[in-house]
Amino acid sequence: MEKYLSYLTAIRTKPFLLLAGISGTGKSRIVRELAFKSCPKYLQDKDGTTPGNYCMIEVKPNWHDSTELLGYYSRLGQAGYQFKKFVMFLVKAKMFPKVPFFVCLDEMNLAPVEHYFAEILSILETRKHPKITGTDEHDMKTIKTDPIVEARYFRELGQLSNSKNIQTGQAYSSSLSDRDIYMKLFGIDTEHDIEQEIGQRTDLTTEGLTLPDNVIIIGTVNMDDTTHQFSRKVIDRAMTIEMNGGKLSDMYGGSKDLEYISDEEQEKWQQAFHQRYVTADEVLKVHSEQATDIMEKVPARLEEINKALKGTPFEVSYRVLNELTIMIGVMLDEQTGEDIDSIINKAVYRILLMKILPRIEGDADMFRLKETVSVGEKTCHNRLEWLKELAPLIENAEGEEHQQTARDKIQEMIERLENQEFTRFWP
């Protein structure tokens, strides 16, 4: 799993990733690899080409609202709500909550992301651990959100008892469990792999479709003149991983990564994606021995970064602090034996690359300092030089030599600023 550690850490921090890089660096491929490794036998296809826990959605340039993802209500005849592939995949994920399900939004920025993805961006911010019925305790094994598709549209499926679903051609029953709805949407006559307790639930007709906590949304991104720029709203809500491609010789033998693996290994991978935390307070409660260090040192590190970015729109806020703390919790869970200072250092390094640097862009005036600033032994003439000195000195792990470090990336941005009088994270 070492090869995929940065992806796993990011996913367990927040299940929405952007994979950025030039064409051909394996962005969509990595999503398939993760699906193959975690797909149990009962979801495997016979041909070994598309795991049942994987859904590729090709974004089109003409998407200007959410209907292509979330569907829409039709008043023509008894058509009712038109469920799209994305929603159907989320319903399927609800049936198998122990398995990670991967949505790959291919070429995500061919259309304006804020137009077609706005509702989901908002839904992601409603993630929380629900209370256990009849108590004030929270169910820490479950993460729920507000509904993406309202319950009334699923209830309507049961009310149209004398009609047929125009998508499947099958008659509706008068009362539908979650399992019934799944089978109707996919045109399935029998299904034996859904656990009875899960299949008998009526969450869809009572609560609506929430974002299942086993669903991971990964968007692939090419930044060129055919695509749209990301707003800070999108970048703030995602974990960004820049993929620069590896050594060309690494391609050989890679086909083995797109094959199903043994049951024992599958179970390890399924557990590797489990999301434990939604808030920083949950991390502090679980890791009480390190809580004091986290509360004292982590905000201080971000405040140093904010000093370097003061006066720009790129100063970090509570969301970054929350996700940095969650990442520290994830790394503490891995029990690597490292001390808290080393873990904080590595988490700050990753948050710089995944959350802070992708937001930064501007001209020379934005980053110019009125007076030079001394950071250690370095005299900084602009804010990016200052930020570079704050970036932790960490070398890439074995197999990631081709990836830029945080300092490498900032230096690239500095050179772009010097050459073009304008800079940004994206190539």
Q: 341-351, pLDDT tens digit by residue?
A: 999 999 999 99
Q: Is the pLDDT of residue 162 over 50?
A: no
pLDDT at 77: 64
Give the tokens for residue 331: 């790394």
Output 414 or 167, whichever has higher pLDDT.
414
Q: Is the pLDDT of residue 160 over 80?
A: no
Over the chain, what is the mean pLDDT?
90
Output 398 or 214, whichever has higher pLDDT.
214
Between CA 146 and CA 351 the distance in angstroms is 27
Sign of the torsion angle spanned by Cα atoms 261, 264, 267, 269:
negative
pLDDT band at 192 (very low <50, low <70, confident <90, very high): confident
Q: Would the pTM of this model clear 0.85, i.e. be above it?
A: yes
pLDDT at 245: 60
Choose the weakest-confidence range: 13-27, 66-80, 228-242, 316-330: 66-80
Output 268 or 248, whichever has higher pLDDT.
268
Q: Is the pLDDT of residue 294 over 60?
A: yes
Q: Is the pLDDT of residue 78 over 50?
A: yes
Mean pLDDT of 12-38: 92
pLDDT at 161: 47
What percentage of the chain carries pLDDT values higher than 90? 77
- Candidates 301, 312, 293, 413; CA nearest to 368 is 312
Element (H, E) at 240: strand 239-242
What percentage of the chain carries pLDDT values higher than 70? 91
The answer to whether the beta carbons of residues 53 and 102 sit under 8 Å apart is yes
Work out the number of other CB atoms within 10 angstroms of the CB of residue 289. Answer: 8
pLDDT at 397: 56
Between CA 96 and CA 56 the distance in angstroms is 19
Length of the chain: 427
